[in-house]
Amino acid sequence: MANELMLKYGCNPNQKPSRVFMKDGGELPVTVLCGKPGYINLLDALNGYQLVRELKRATGLPAAASFKHVSPAGAAVGLPLTETLRKIYFVEKKAELSPLACAYARARGADRMSSFGDFISLSDVCDVPTARLISKEVSDGVIAPGYEEEALAILSQKRKGAYNVLKIDPDYAPAPVEQKDVYGVTFEQGRNELKIDEQLLQEIVTQNKELPESARRDLLISLITLKYTQSNSVCYAYDGQAIGIGAGQQSRIHCTRLAGNKADNWFLRQHPKVLGLKFVKGLGRADRDNAIDVYISEDWEDVLGDDVWDKTFAIRPVPLTREEKKAWLAQQGGVSLGSDAFFPFGDNIERAHKSGVQYIAQPCGSIRDDNVIEVCDKYNMVMVKTGIRLFHH
């Protein structure tokens, strides 16, 4: 290890010189095993690793995250994949899957459009099944506490040997106070060491107080994900993974809508018509993702001209109507939703209900808390008052 790492440039090519270093003169907790990571790569890597480390501690399961521009596009724990999930995540039927590989597939597959060119974070030593999945996707790099020998060999071949593979010291403990420079001014604050666990889920403020274990797990996933997401943010979680993250919005309702639309797309990818799409042989994953996204949208027939049809689909798809989408989404339920700050109006709950939300965790503290709780009660939702804010900037 070294106490300094020179970078090609900062956030943009004109921002030079650029480096990361330890102010105390100690060694960096990160070792570059392959490639040459950039400024944004390292921001994503270090934020993502903190997220998966906390998920592992909170759930006891291996965890993975997909980061883009200092916010997660997906985060998940290592629950088994159903046949449907294998299909929408492009995981081959015969592919060997470890718990960590399942976590990665879920994190990468939650929002495949946003995860294109991501930086991957893993809570555990990267094994061969996980490395094989990573090798098939477009990403900038991966960070993990270690790598099996064969797994490292697989990853080192990606991008003709230029793929970024980082190893982080799992025993590294940062200083309790952190600093950040903005416009020549140094900001200082205590690190956010808040422990997110089931103790935060004790105060239920709605009439319905039934909170099953699966919902507790998913609420923890949503809250820990929010801890490392640019604020304002909300996170929809289901079946051990984030399925919709709305990051960096100035309005809470816009977060809820953005994340809700992503959650809807995740469910719609599992619609029989989408699963039945027939693509031209050899079409790349990214092109398939783009086509599916357009197919699910309202104006897909206008967007895809005849020339694109011929290059994309082996058989012209039957339209997925608005009525069919609405009916499919109406069947979904049991979704958990976390918010990094209080909901100021009940409109957030109304929007969340449309995406199958049944369980909510938020700080509360709005002057309209009564209205927000009233809307939850209207839909027989369970709302937990955490009493804590999770802003991240």
**Over the stretch 71-110, which tens digit does the pLDDT of each residue have?**
999 999 999 999 999 999 999 988 999 999 999 999 999 9
Q: How high is the pLDDT of residue 301?
A: 63
Q: Radius of gyration (Cα) for the chain, nearest Å?
A: 21
Q: Exactly one of 69, 254, 273, 325 is catalytic; which is it?
A: 69
Annotated active-site residue 254? The verdict is: no
pLDDT of residue 305: 64
Q: Tens digit of pLDDT for each residue in 172-223?
A: 999 999 999 999 999 999 999 999 999 999 999 999 999 999 999 999 999 9
Contacts of 49 (CB under 8 A, 6+ apart): 121, 143, 168
Rounded Cα distance, 125 and 133, in Å: 15
pLDDT for position 24: 84
> What is the total residue count of the chain?
393
pLDDT for 258 equals 96
Q: Quote the CA–CA distance of 36 and 16 in Å, as a whole number.
A: 16
Letter for the amino acid at 334? G
Three-state SS string over the chain comes to CCCEEEECCCCCCCCCCEEEECCCCCCCCEEEEECCCCHHHHHHHHHHHHHHHHHHHHHCCCEEEEEECCEEEEEEECCCCCHHHHHHCCCCCCCCCCHHHHHHHHHHHCCHHHHCCEEEEECCCECHHHHHHHHCCCEEEEEECCECHHHHHHHHCHHHHCCEEEEECCCCCCCCEEEEEECCEEEEEECCCCCCCHHHHCCECCCCCCCCHHHHHHHHHHHHHHHCCCCCCEEEEECCEEEEEECCCCCHHHHHHHHHHHHHHHHHCCCHHHHCCCECCCCCHHHHHHHHHHHHCCCHHHHCCHHHHHHHECCCCCCCCHHHHHHHHHCCCCEEEEECCCCCCCHHHHHHHHCCEEEEEECCCCCCHHHHHHHHHHCCCEEEECCCCCCCC
pLDDT at 358: 98
Q: Is 232 an active-site residue?
A: yes
What's the average model confidence in pLDDT over 20-39?
Answer: 93
Inform me whether the pLDDT recorded for 2 exceeds 80.
no
248, two tokens: 């960096």
What is residue 298's predicted lDDT score, i.e. its pLDDT? 67
**Per-residue tokens: 186:** 């140094």
The set of long-range contacts for 44-48, using a CB threshold of 8 Å and a minimum separation of 24, is 44/68, 44/69, 44/70, 44/118, 44/119, 44/121, 44/140, 45/119, 45/121, 45/141, 45/143, 45/166, 45/168, 46/143, 47/228, 48/72, 48/119, 48/120, 48/121, 48/143, 48/228
pLDDT band at 25 (very low <50, low <70, confident <90, very high): confident
Confidence of residue 60 (pLDDT cuts 50, 70, 90): very high
Is 70 exceeded by the pLDDT of residue 367? yes
- For residues 147 and 166, the answer to whether their CB atoms sit within 8 Å is no
Average pLDDT, the chain: 94
Distance CA(156)–CA(135), nearest Å, equals: 9
Residue 271 designated active-site:
no
In the set 41, 47, 68, 158, the catalytic residue is 68
What is the reported pLDDT for 59? 96
Q: Which of 47, 164, 232, 348 is catalytic?
A: 232
Check residues 24 and 267 and name the one with the higher pLDDT. 267
392 is catalytic: no
Residue 328 has pLDDT above 70, yes or no: yes
> Going by C-beta distance under 8 Å and a sequence separation of 6 or more, which residues neighbour residue 218?
237, 238, 239, 240, 335, 336, 359
Count other C-beta atoms under 10 Å from residue 328's C-beta.
18
pLDDT at position 101 is 98
Over 70: is that where the pLDDT of 312 sits?
Answer: yes
Q: Is the pLDDT of residue 307 over 80?
A: no
288-311 mean pLDDT: 77
At 23 the pLDDT is 87
Average pLDDT (344-357) is 96
Q: Looking at residues 166-172, what average pLDDT do you find?
A: 97
